[in-house]
Chain A
Amino acid sequence: MKEIINSIRARFPALSENEGVARILATGFLMHLGVTPAALADIKTVVSEAVTNAIVHGYRDRNGAGCPVFLELTLYADRTLVITVRDRGRGIPDLEQAMQPFFTTDREGERSGMGLPIMDAFTDQMKITTSPKGTKVVMKKRLP
C-alpha cells in the first residue's frame, strides 16, 4: 500500500439523507481513476451499508442531528482503497452474531440483516472494532 495518493474525510450528522451524500462523495473521490462500473457499484454499496448502520443502529433511539458519522476514503499508490466509517454510538454486543446473514436487531424496520455480509463479500478485507463507545469499520478494496 505504502504511499498515499489521495484522501478525504467527512463528518456529518446521522441523518438518513446523508446516506446518498456519502455515496456521492465516494463516487466523486473515484471519478478520475477509471474504475469499472462493477467495482464502483460495489464501493457505493459498502459505503452506503456502513453509513446506514451507523445511522440506524449506532445511534438507535437518538436524535441523529446531534450524532456524528465519520467517513474517510484513502487511496494508496498500489490502487488500494481504504474506506473507514466510524460512529460514537452504542456498539455491537456480539460481532459474530451480527455478521450472520439475515441477522438483524431491527425486524420491524424491515431490515434484511444482509448489510455486514454484503460489506464482507464486496471488499477484499473488512475489520470491525466496536465497544459501547462506538464502532469503526475499515474496508479495503484493490481497484481494478
Chain B
Amino acid sequence: MKATTANCGEDLVVRVLGDVDHHTSLGLREEIDRQMTAAAPRRLVLDLSGTEFMDSSGLGLILGRYRKAREAGCELVLLRPTPAILRILRLAGVDGMLTIRQEKGEES
C-alpha cells in the first residue's frame, strides 16, 4: 500500500499509488482515515492518476470514505481516475454521486 498526502489549504490530497484490491485496501483505509482525523479537511481529494489497478474492493473503499467524509461535513473528490477505473466507477453509478475531476478545476 502506498499513499502520499499533502495538505493544500482546506484540502487533504491523498495520492493513491499502485494496486487497490482487497489485500491493500484495509491499510489504505486506515491511512486515509488517520489523515482525515488529523487534518479535518473541508475536502478530501483522492488522486487516482497513479493508481495502476482497482477492483470492487477499491469501490468499497471509496464508498466508505464518501460516507465518512459526508458525516464530517467534508466533500470527497476523485481526481484523474484512469479509463479502467472510470469504467468501474460508472458501472456502479458512483460518477453521479460524487465529484470526479479529470484535471485541476475541471469537473465531469
* Closest chain A residue to B84, Cβ basis: A41
Hey, what's the 0/1 contact readout for B51-87 against A, CB within 8 Å counting as 1? 0010111011101100000000000000000011001
Give the contacts of A51-70 with B (CB-CB under 8 A): 52, 55-56
User: A-B pairs with CB below 8 Å: how many?
Assistant: 68
Hey, what's the 0/1 contact readout for A104-138 against B, CB within 8 Å counting as 1? 00000111111101100100000000000000000
| B residues with CB within 8 A of A | 19, 21-23, 25, 29, 53, 55-57, 59-61, 63-64, 83-84, 87-88, 91-92
Contact of A16 among B23, B59, B88 (CB under 8 A): B23
C-alpha spacing A101/B91, complex, angstroms: 10
C-alpha spacing A117/B92, complex, angstroms: 9
In which size bucket is the chain A interface?
A: 20 to 34
Whether A23 pairs with B53 at a CB distance below 8 angstroms is: yes
Contact of A55 among B22, B25, B91 (CB under 8 A): B22
* Closest chain B residue to A111, Cβ basis: B60
Kindly list chain A residues whose C-beta atoms are within 8 Å of the C-beta of B87: 41
Whether B55 pairs with A45 at a CB distance below 8 angstroms is: yes
| A residues with CB within 8 A of B | 16-17, 19-20, 23, 37-38, 41-42, 44-45, 48-49, 52, 55-56, 101, 109-115, 117-118, 121
Whether A112 pairs with B59 at a CB distance below 8 angstroms is: yes
Kindly list chain B residues whose C-beta atoms are within 8 Å of the C-beta of A37: 84
Shortest Cβ distance from residue A65 to the other chain B in the assembled complex, whole angstroms:
15
Kindly list chain A residues whose C-beta atoms are within 8 Å of the C-beta of B29: 110
13 additional contacts (CB under 8 A) given A16-B22, A41-B53, A55-B22: A16-B23, A19-B22, A20-B21, A42-B84, A45-B55, A48-B21, A49-B56, A52-B21, A109-B60, A110-B63, A112-B59, A113-B56, A114-B56
Whether A52 pairs with B84 at a CB distance below 8 angstroms is: no
C-alpha spacing A113/B63, complex, angstroms: 11
The answer to whether A19 and B88 touch (CB under 8 A), given A38-B83, A49-B55, A114-B56, is: no
